[in-house]
Amino acid sequence: MEMKDAVALVTGGKEGIGRAIAEALIAEGSHVTITGRHERELRATADDIGADWIVADVGSAQDAARSVAEVIAKHGHLDILVNNAGYGLFKPLVDTTLEELEALYRTNVFGPFLMAKEAARHFIERGRGEMINIASTSALKGNSNRTAYASSKFALRGMTECWRDELRRHNVRVMLVNPSEVMTEFAAKAGSPRTPADNKLRPREIADAIVGALKIDSRGFVPEFSVFATNPF
């Protein structure tokens, strides 16, 4: 697709992979809006990278509808939705509460569902669109202490496959991205801090891969891809 002047909406865009994706799209000439729940940090990021911003919780049906509607109202259309918002929880099964599981699913599973539903209506009407869902290599293989997080990404992967099959006939490309370990604050917030290392992935590698996938002519697309560090040992 042509990236210049494309209109993109990136959820969870204030830091980490979301911010890197927003920056990469802006560098290509796209008009980008980022969303997040915390206004001060969201506004600071938006001002820093030259994006628009909307305070919204992806797990709220009202916020999801409002986010998509506001972008369309400003630009006349939406070209790209990036479902990036999400968080991790790394705990043993016996220590994970139902409340923790439900809260994580509200963001990691119900959030992409709500955003995709709103964007898909618009994409179907236009007869084109791009949907990028950020999953994880945890969507490919479960691990101990990852009941909540890995299962949420397995769910996102399954939904992506359904949306891809459903929306292809409307010229909508639905792609899943599985990052391996990326040096952000994600792991520390999930309860499993990592030591920074130059041989591990940075958010920029994920963003560059996404831009490359989007630039493929719209007659074809990459349904799913994973990004690993070359030598993380």
pLDDT for position 233:
83
Q: Residue 192: inside a domain, yes or no?
A: yes
Q: Which residues pair with 225 in a beta bridge?
A: 177
CATH of the domain at 215: 3.40.50.720
Per-chain mean pLDDT for the chain: 96
Q: Residue 51: inside a domain, yes or no?
A: yes
| Residue 170: domain span | 7-226
Number of domains the chain is built from:
1
Q: Residue 124: inside a domain, yes or no?
A: yes
Q: Residue 19: inside a domain, yes or no?
A: yes
From 149, 154, 163, 186, active-site residue: 149
Q: Residue 2: inside a domain, yes or no?
A: no
For this structure, is 87 an active site residue? no
Helix axes 203-215, 16-27, angle to 10 degrees: 40
Question: pLDDT of 166-209, one tens digit each?
Answer: 999 999 999 999 999 998 777 667 666 767 788 899 999 999 99
Q: Residue 232: inside a domain, yes or no?
A: no
**pTM of structure:** 0.94
Q: Residue 90: inside a domain, yes or no?
A: yes
Q: Residue 74: inside a domain, yes or no?
A: yes
pLDDT for position 192:
66
| Cβ neighbourhood burial of 18 (10 Å; 0-12, 13-18, 19+) | buried
Question: pLDDT of 63-74, one tens digit each?
Answer: 999 999 999 999
